[in-house]
Copies of this chain bind each other. A is one copy, B any other.
Amino acid sequence: MTRPHRRHRRRTPPGSPPGTLIADPSAQAPTMRLMRYAPGRLDERVVADIVELGQSVAGDGVAWLDVDGLADVDLVRSVGGLFKVHNLALEDVVNVHQRPKVEVYDDHLFIVTRMPVSPASAETEQVAIFLGANYVLTFQERPGDCFDPVRERIRKGARIRELGADYLAYALIDASIDAYFPVLERHGEVVDELEAEVTSQPDDGMTRRIQGVKRDLLTLRRAIWPQREMVNALIRDESRFVTAQTRLYLRDCYDHVVQLVDILETYREIASGLIDIYLSSVSARMNEIMKLLTIIATIFIPLGFVAGLYGMNFDPSVSPWNMPELGWYWGYPFALGLMTAIGVGLLAFFYRRGWLGRRRRR
């Protein structure tokens, strides 16, 4: 679980006019892939530049242009111009830290969603989707996504070819949402491992790991929660871009988001309790250490005192009261016996208090 250390920077300087496009410093060079399809037909190609795009995009059927990489702000502006997309939406395309949302424009819907980058991390990548009458336009931060199964369904001529652009948009949203299930599963395993370790072998690095997974879950929460509103807005939306049939599928998609939220909040609650358990495990260990110290010290300090007592150098020759024990026939055995009695007595006291071996029994 790596902690995403990217700050949530807005690149556009405060006070700029709205619609100013400035590339994110980590943005990558773009590639464009176009899929045009109709029930009996499929044209898939990588588009080199805006001129070729202008030529290829016209015609009937559904067109899906997928732009990977947002470093070339001019290209983004040109593509936006070609599809007559609103400037404010384009600004959100290159500012890649948007929350998932839907915005209704006259000519198109603008949808922002986020998909996980890999199952092992909480990092997410912004996907901006424009849904028009017969096209879908997607902008991703970098190559590599979870849309290959959708592409495959288009290529295999499945039912998706018979349906409109809104169904394609649904399929993409659904794929990006379902991609969170393995991510949550992975984090759930980490939480379970931590929960098992925290009582059996709590160590120093544990707080750091617990805080790490809590932070990951917090990051995921920020990505997943707004998707719920986003899908819900699509379902309730009265625009002409989403058909009643697709709304039914979106309802299913909504169920999935609710399930994600449910699982996420469960893990968050469990993870929240871990610090408490860790602290109580550490307290229990401390208790055990203190008990040992107390037992050893409490037994040997009095014994040491007795030994010290008979190590005193009072002169027995001066008076019969000066350490007569030193001259007794059974003096040394008496002293040893005294010490044994003290030691056994204290052990019995500890045993009665249940400090010896009791831990084992439980």
Interface stretch (choices A48-56, A73-81, A185-193): A185-193
Query: Which chain A residues in 83-107 approach chain B with CB under 8 Å?
Result: 88, 91-92, 97-99, 101, 103
Q: Answer whether residue A14 sits at the interface, using C-beta atoms and an 8 A cutoff.
A: yes
A150-170: CB near B (< 8 Å → 1, else 0) gives: 101100001110000000000
Select A149's contact among B14, B269, B307, B310, beta carbons within 8 Å. Answer: B14
Whether A211 and B195, one on each chain, are in contact in the complex, defined by CB atoms closer than 8 angstroms, is: yes
Whether B291 and A289, one on each chain, are in contact in the complex, defined by CB atoms closer than 8 angstroms, is: yes
Q: Answer whether residue A323 sits at the interface, using C-beta atoms and an 8 A cutoff.
A: yes
Q: From residue A6, how far is it (CB to closest CB) to chain B in Å?
A: 11
Q: Answer whether residue A46 sits at the interface, using C-beta atoms and an 8 A cutoff.
A: no
Query: Which chain A residues in 184-213 approach chain B with CB under 8 Å?
Result: 184-185, 188-189, 192, 195, 199, 203-205, 207-208, 211
Q: Answer whether residue A252 sits at the interface, using C-beta atoms and an 8 A cutoff.
A: yes
Contacts of A218 in B (CB 8 A): 266, 269-270
Whether A211 and B277, one on each chain, are in contact in the complex, defined by CB atoms closer than 8 angstroms, is: yes
Query: Which chain A residues in 201-242 approach chain B with CB under 8 Å?
Result: 203-205, 207-208, 211, 214-215, 218-219, 222
Q: Answer whether residue A58 sits at the interface, using C-beta atoms and an 8 A cutoff.
A: no
Query: Which chain A residues in 255-283 approach chain B with CB under 8 Å?
Result: 255-256, 258-259, 262-263, 266, 269-270, 273, 275-283
Q: From residue A316, how far is it (CB to closest CB) to chain B in Å?
A: 8
Whether A282 and B279, one on each chain, are in contact in the complex, defined by CB atoms closer than 8 angstroms, is: no
Interface stretch (choices A27-35, A62-70, A130-138, A328-336): A328-336
Select A15's contact among B98, B147, B313, beta carbons within 8 Å. Answer: B147
Residues on A facing B (Cβ under 8 Å)? 5, 7-10, 12-18, 88, 91-92, 97-99, 101, 103, 146-150, 152-153, 158-160, 171, 174-175, 178-179, 181-182, 184-185, 188-189, 192, 195, 199, 203-205, 207-208, 211, 214-215, 218-219, 222, 248-249, 251-252, 255-256, 258-259, 262-263, 266, 269-270, 273, 275-287, 289-294, 296-298, 300-305, 307-316, 318-319, 321-323, 325-333, 335, 355, 359, 362
The 7 closest A-B pairs by CB, nearest first: A15-B149, A307-B308, A14-B178, A310-B312, A311-B311, A15-B175, A319-B329
